[in-house]
Structure 1
Amino acid sequence: MKVHHTLICFFFLSALQDGNAEVIFNNNISFGVVGGNLTAGFSFPAGTWKMLCRGECKGGNILINTTDEKHQSHRYSTEYTIVQYAPTLSVSITQLIMSDAGQYSCGVGESPSSVSYRQFEVVVAEALLDGNDPAQLKHFNKETGSSLTVGCSFNPSGGQKFFCRGECGEDEVLLQTDDEDASKDRYRIGFRGTSEETYGGGGIVYVTITQLTESDSGQYRCSLNPSSGQASFRLFEINVTDGVSLPVGLTVAVIIIIIIIIVLSSLAVLIICIKRKSNRGLRTRGNSEGTNMEDVPLRELYSRFYT
């Protein structure tokens, strides 16, 4: 059988948040959730050297550079296997954090100078929403200038994708697309289908707002409208502050620290006063009759003159 080497990459997402969910991608964008593990697989010609990099593979961007079939460095790992008769390099990132989002490169070659690369993007969401219980409405507290990415899990696997502020009324739609990824101004929306075995053909819609301002505070929804059936949506709320005011927990901590400092300072002053008074009394009692009148207590002066 002839081995075909394709430039199309496929992706997997494991352990989205609390479980082991698998997502298969058909392009060069991979989606994960904070705290989860992400694995992306690429078909390559056979080779000895394997590399994984953040951005371009040069200098400090190189995360892994190895000839091992399987290699791990901190939260990053690579594994070189044969999948359906084709050599495949799988790259993984565990315990995802928001700063993991961005552009990556991986490659295989017979020598470091002959490595061929594939580029892919990692999108990391702060949370994965899978319900609309008003009592469990997800709130996000953000500072001005920051960004927010949220994933929304749905059972339908296709149709139009909506990102709205409010209830998706005529003037409330921020983005609407039939494509797998779209962006406009500060907004972005994307879709990744999940495996039939794990989710019955469901999917994940992810939405992003960059350069948040205080006016962005409010309620949002991501929606998936399949070609047949009723549309599904997920709700979340954003509260954006200018970053000057301290969080409630931090404010309480600062107040407690100030109170402790005041109490300790007061105790220090009291101890100094008591010590000075005690020393003064000892000097007075030990003096002779010729002691300076300023060092004699008032009660003793009274006793000397009127008894």
Structure 2
Amino acid sequence: MEVSHTLICFFLLFSLQDGSTGLVSAQVSVYSGIEGEDVRVECSFPSYRTRKFFCKEPCDNEDVLIETTGASAQSGRYSIDDKDGGLFVTITQLTKSDSGRYRCAAGTSLTQALYKDIEIIVVDAMLDGGPSAEKTIDARTGGNIAVRCSFTENKAKKYLCKEECKQGDNLVETISKSDQGNGRYRIRYTQIIPTGFSLYVSIEQLTQSDSGWYRCGLGRPDSKDLYQRFRLIVTDALTTSPKTTEHPETTKGVVLYVRLTLVVLVIVSSLSVLVFCRKRTCKAKKPPVETQHDFVTETDREYDDIGEAGRSRSRPVEISSVHTHARYTRPNADETDDYYNIDTASNA
């Protein structure tokens, strides 16, 4: 009899395994967090399990985000607290890339550990309550948004629609718990025990035409069935802030002023360069000063005086390239020519 009970327990444990020695969770726990905020998930294990892990699927050794053998630890944006009989993991400053499946584990190693599967969905807004709890979401072109709509009741049909939301105008709808997609629109329904039901809707590859009012709801959109509303404002990705679109006239005025200032600076700089270049050109073209004008004039005058006295017996003047020399016949001299060499540089 004891052998039979042992075999039953063995097969029961074996049926709950997925090929490893860890115990597979019967249900994935879903948590939501708003982008930029924190999320805290709970993983309950027996206290004798001294080593704790937190990893993101596929949860190989390189996928471990934080681990510890103590009561608490922190690594970057991740922290573990083992107290009050429970194991809690916190992720701070959530980003859209944090969405996905995770695993809490406790044991000597990842392959020899108890674990619990967790899914985290990072959203842009959480809507709780009735239609009066509407919110506004700012987004950029080309981006994605995700919204969680929470309800305390359940209806067979779930939908996402825009503006008037008449019958047949639904962007996407489903009657199952599985994900349902229609082009850029997706919808997912989950039941969170004991808080209620959550409807996740998302829009991908946003354009400015996606701006407007949306409704996520249960049942029929043209009835009084439960729904919640949110407003989506999509601005161009090049815009630094959505607030800048509220004052386009001011922005245009500043841009025009900056452009005019740059044009004036360019014109003034060009004129300065032009004036400088013209002054340099005028100096380069100025004719050189005749430094030997007086010297040449004196020489010519002396030669003319001598030539008038003895014009009949004078000989032509020979001018050297280095010094100016003049040869002439001395007046009242003998028949034999007596030449004098006059160095004009010495006479000067």
Q: Specify if TM > 0.5.
A: yes
Aligned-pair distance for 1:92? 1.3
| Structure 2 equivalent of residue 121 of structure 1 | 119
Q: Give ranges in structure 2 of 5+ residues lacking alignment.
A: 1-22, 288-348
2:188 pairs with 1:189: yes
Q: Secondary structure at the match of 2:49?
A: coil
Contact 1:149 1:208 in 2 (8 A): yes
Contact 1:49 1:112 in 2 (8 A): no
Relative to its length, the structure with more strand (as a share) is 1
| Structure 2 equivalent of residue 13 of structure 1 | none
- Tell me: CA distance 1:82–1:243, structure 2 relative to 1, closer, same or farther (3 Å): closer
Give the alignment partner of residue 83 of structure 2, picking from 75, 81, 94.
81
Q: Deviations over 1:247-287 (max 9, x none)?
A: 87499879956864663464255146337647977998xx8
Q: Secondary structure at the match of 2:43?
A: strand
Q: Distance in 1 between matches of 2:49 and 2:105?
A: 9
Give the alignment partner of residue 66 of structure 1, picking from 44, 65, 68.
68
- Tell me: CA distance 1:39–1:260, structure 2 relative to 1, closer, same or farther (3 Å): same
| Structure 1 equivalent of residue 58 of structure 2 | 56
| Structure 2 equivalent of residue 20 of structure 1 | none
Aligned-pair distance for 1:165? 1.3
Q: Distance in 2 between matches of 1:95 and 1:194?
A: 26
Q: Distance in 2 between matches of 1:161 and 1:70?
A: 44
2:223 pairs with 1:206: no
- Tell me: CA distance 1:119–1:255, structure 2 relative to 1, closer, same or farther (3 Å): farther
| Structure 2 equivalent of residue 152 of structure 1 | 149
RMSD, aligned α-carbons:
4.5
Q: Distance in 2 between matches of 1:123 and 1:219?
A: 23
Superposition map of 1:155-304 within 5 A: 156-160=152-156, 162-166=158-162, 167-173=164-170, 174-177=172-175, 179=177, 182-185=179-182, 186-191=185-190, 193=192, 204-210=198-204, 219-224=213-218, 231-238=225-232, 249=244, 260=258, 263-264=261-262, 266-271=264-269, 273-274=271-272, 277=275, 292=286
Aligned-pair distance for 1:245? 9.0
Superposition map of 1:27-66 within 5 A: 27-45=28-46, 46-58=48-60, 60-66=62-68
- Tell me: CA distance 1:243–1:33, structure 2 relative to 1, closer, same or farther (3 Å): closer
Paired AA for residue 186 in structure 2:
Y
Give the structure-2-normalised TM-score.
0.55
| Structure 1 equivalent of residue 292 of structure 2 | none
Q: Distance in 2 between matches of 1:283 and 1:245?
A: 50
Aligned-pair distance for 1:72? 1.4
| Structure 1 equivalent of residue 93 of structure 2 | 95
Q: Distance in 1 between matches of 2:57 and 2:111?
A: 17
Percent of aligned pairs sharing the same letter: 27
Aligned-pair distance for 1:126? 0.5
- Tell me: CA distance 1:170–1:94, structure 2 relative to 1, closer, same or farther (3 Å): same
Paired AA for residue 114 in structure 1:
Q
Q: Secondary structure at the match of 1:263?
A: helix
Aligned-pair distance for 1:81? 3.3
Superposition map of 1:124-135 within 5 A: 124-130=122-128, 132=131
Residue-pair matches, total: 253
- Tell me: CA distance 1:168–1:258, structure 2 relative to 1, closer, same or farther (3 Å): closer
Paired AA for residue 29 in structure 1:
V
Q: Deviations over 1:109-157 (max 9, x none)?
A: 12455234333221111012356459x762544434x432112244x34
Q: Give ranges in structure 1 of 5+ residues lacking alignment.
A: 1-5, 10-25, 196-200, 294-307
2:106 pairs with 1:105: no
Q: Secondary structure at the match of 2:265?
A: helix
Contact 1:48 1:111 in 2 (8 A): no
- Tell me: CA distance 1:76–1:246, structure 2 relative to 1, closer, same or farther (3 Å): closer
Q: Distance in 1 between matches of 2:265 and 2:209?
A: 48
Q: Deviations over 1:11-46 (max 9, x none)?
A: xxxxxxxxxxxxxxx742221222332111123343
Paired AA for residue 109 in structure 1:
G
Deviates further, 247-256 or 202-211: 247-256
| Structure 1 equivalent of residue 304 of structure 2 | none
Q: Secondary structure at the match of 1:99?
A: helix
**Higher relative contact order by CA 8 Å / sep ≥ 6: 1 or 2?**
1
